[in-house]
Amino acid sequence: MSILPHSTPAAVPDGARPMGEGPFLRPGDQIDWHYRPPGWQPGDASTIAPMRVVRDDERGLVAWLAPGTLQEAQGTTEGERIRTVPLDRRWLDPRTRIVEEWWGNGILRIAPAGAAWSVWLFWSAAEGSHWRFAGWYVNLENAHLRTDRDTYSSDHILDVQIDAEGSVRLKDEDELAAAIEQGRLTGEQAAQIERHASAAIESFRAGDWPFDPEWQLWRPDTSWTVPELSGIGELRRR
């Protein structure tokens, strides 16, 4: 399991198991994908995306985040989305729980067992038979821990973007620097995140299974409904 040095793994329920250990869910089952910050306590802000299982086995989890999904997210006490908060205070402002709709097309998320990242596939058009693959987004994060219906991780800020032609670039390097300046991360932790980024890029160049072309051709079952977020009534809608 990949956990940042000197950090507390995302708090998870007792009995949580590493990704890749059964029992497994079936295609179409709902799973809630959680991102919790280090030191998370019940009631603290987090991100929860209800998703449909595509595949769940020893290699890891593949799940679909449908367009229009309502998810729990982290916002400021003024109701701002975190991504809209100016960088000079993004890691300083207190956070609260809000609900927001997933904006954009649906995405396929792949969490390989034991990896310090998940791979997200994006399509720039995803209506009817018109799907145009836009590339991969590698979200650097703790290796997932699972219960039967939920999976838990903690985001590592820095990410990797890979376009459909295979061009690679790092994303959010400015956020990583701000997180160090504002006390969210140490320099040692940031260096390990950068090593994880290099390992993820090597995985892409090796053609490992999360990057297999088969996933670009995958399409969701037309009978699937959009999963529902529990506890939505108590949260502020944005």
Angle at 33 between CA 62 and CA 59, to 5 degrees: 30
Please, which pLDDT band fits residue 234 given cuts at 50, 70 and 90?
A: low
Backbone torsions φ then ψ of 94, nearest 5 degrees: -60, 150
Band (237; pLDDT cuts 50, 70, 90):
low
Contacts of 181 (CB under 8 A, 6+ apart): none
Average pLDDT across the chain, whole number: 88
Phi and psi at residue 205, in whole multiples of 5°?
A: -70, -25
pLDDT of residue 38: 80
pLDDT of residue 142: 95
The helix or strand, by DSSP H or E, that contains position 194, with its residue range, turns out to be: helix 187-205
Residue 34 · residue 152 · CB < 8 Å: yes
Structure pTM?
Answer: 0.88
For residues 54 and 235, which has the higher predicted lDDT (pLDDT)?
54
Give residue 75's pLDDT.
80
Residues 96-130 pLDDT 10s:
888 999 988 899 999 999 999 999 999 986 666 68
Fold (CATH) for 30-211: FomD barrel-like fold (2.40.380)
- Does position 7 have pLDDT exceeding 50, yes or no? no
> What is the mean predicted confidence (pLDDT) over 18-33?
98
Alpha carbon distance 29, 63 (integer Å): 10
Residues ≥6 apart with Cβ < 8 Å to 147? 12, 13, 15, 16, 17
Tell me what pLDDT residue 8 has: 46
Cα separation, 28 vs 213, whole angstroms: 22
Inform me whether the pLDDT recorded for 6 exceeds 50.
no
pLDDT band per the 50, 70, 90 thresholds, residue 197: very high
| pLDDT digits 0-9 by tens, 139-193 | 999 999 999 999 999 999 899 999 999 999 999 898 899 889 988 889 999 999 9
Q: What is the pLDDT of residue 183?
A: 87
Of the listed ranges 35-44, 47-56, 184-193, the one predicted with least confidence: 35-44
CB 142 within 8 A of CB 2: yes
Bridge-partner residues for 60, per DSSP? 57, 112
Indicate the helix (H) or strand (E) that contains 135. strand 130-141
pLDDT in tens, 209-231: 999 999 999 999 999 999 999 86
pLDDT value, residue 231 = 67
Among the residue ranges 36-40, 71-75, 231-235, the one predicted with the least confidence is 231-235
